[in-house]
Structure 1
Amino acid sequence: MNREQLITLISEKLKLIRTEKAFTQDQMSDLLGLSKKTLVQIEKGRILAGWTTTVAVCTLCRDSTILQHELGGDPLEVVDLIANHGTLQPKERTMGGYIWWKNISEYKGFRLQQNMISQHYRILDQHHFRLVSTFDEQIAKQAWEKLKD
């Protein structure tokens, strides 16, 4: 997934997300810092949201089941990956990857996983901390091999 794809996805789902959160157009436009006219234009598919609006939606509505379903879990992880050009190396605890993730390989409690929706990769340690997260399969596999050495 890239920036344009995420912007398109958020633009297409914005009305559903707003409805799920039980916000009026006035409330949602105020939350996102948009005019109501701009929000309506996005919801009707006449224009796309900008990157800033997309990030705001993913941040402020990160608990949205629609967003989580469309992005395969935490929307902020996808935003962070895109903003950092596809690779992260934070040490952040995850829920372990039992939903939306398939294990590609396991080694001494470490897991190389791929998200079934967004298709990005990550490596988790024995305690579910994310060691690497990337859209690039080659980078994920190199990090995996380095871990096994």
Structure 2
Amino acid sequence: MHRDQLIALISDKLKLIRTEKQFTQDQMSDLLGLSKKTLVQIEKGRIQAGWTTTVTTCALFRESSILQHELGGDPLEVVDLIANHGTLQPKEKTMGGYIWWKNISEHSGYRLQQNAISNHYRILDTNNYRLLSSFDEEIAKEAWAKTLQNP
């Protein structure tokens, strides 16, 4: 997924996210720092949200079932990947990938997984900590090979 794709997705789903959380347009526009007119334009598909609005929406509505379903899990992970040009190496605890993830490879409790929705890859250690996330399959597979050599 690229920045423009995420912006388009958030723009398209903004009204659903707002109604899921039972916010009025006034409340939502205030929360996102937009004018109500701009919010209406986005919701009607006349304009797209900007990057800042997209990131803010992902951060403030991180627990939205709509966002999680559309992005295959944590929206902020996708934002981080895009903002960091496709690769992250934080040690962050995950839920283990039982819903939106398929195991590509597994060895000694370590797993290389691919997200079924956003298609990005990640490596988890034996305690479900994320060792790497990347949209780039080659980077993920190189890191996986290194992980197998030095678990």
Q: TM-score range by the shorter chain?
A: over 0.9
Q: 3-state SS of the aligned residue for 2:132?
A: strand
Q: Gaps (5+ residues) in structure 2? A: none
Counterpart for residue 96 of structure 1: 96
Q: 3-state SS of the aligned residue for 1:37?
A: helix
Kindly report which structure 2 residues correspond to 1:1-149, keeping only aligned pairs within 5 A, or say none. 1-149=1-149
CA distance in 2, matches of 1:63, 1:148: 33
CA distance in 1, matches of 2:102, 2:3: 24
What amino acid does structure 1 have at the position aligned with 2:142? Q
Q: CA deviation at 1:5?
A: 0.1
Q: CA deviation at 1:35?
A: 0.3
TM-score normalized by the length of structure 1: 1.00
Deviation digits for residues 38-62 of structure 1 (CA, Å, limit 9, x no counterpart): 0000000000000000000000001
CA distance in 2, matches of 1:12, 1:144: 35
CA distance in 1, matches of 2:126, 2:148: 14
CA distance in 1, matches of 2:116, 2:35: 36
What amino acid does structure 2 have at the position aligned with 1:140? A
Q: CA deviation at 1:94?
A: 0.1
Q: CA deviation at 1:148?
A: 1.0
Alignment RMSD (CA, Å): 0.3
Q: CA deviation at 1:135?
A: 0.2
Identity %: 80
Deviation digits for residues 14-33 of structure 1 (CA, Å, limit 9, x no counterpart): 00000000000000000000
TM-score normalized by the length of structure 2: 0.98
Q: CA deviation at 1:97?
A: 0.4
Q: Gaps (5+ residues) in structure 1? A: none
CA distance in 2, matches of 1:106, 1:16: 37
User: Runs of 4+ in structure 1 displaced over 6 angstroms?
Assistant: none
Q: 3-state SS of the aligned residue for 2:97?
A: coil
Q: 3-state SS of the aligned residue for 1:131?
A: strand
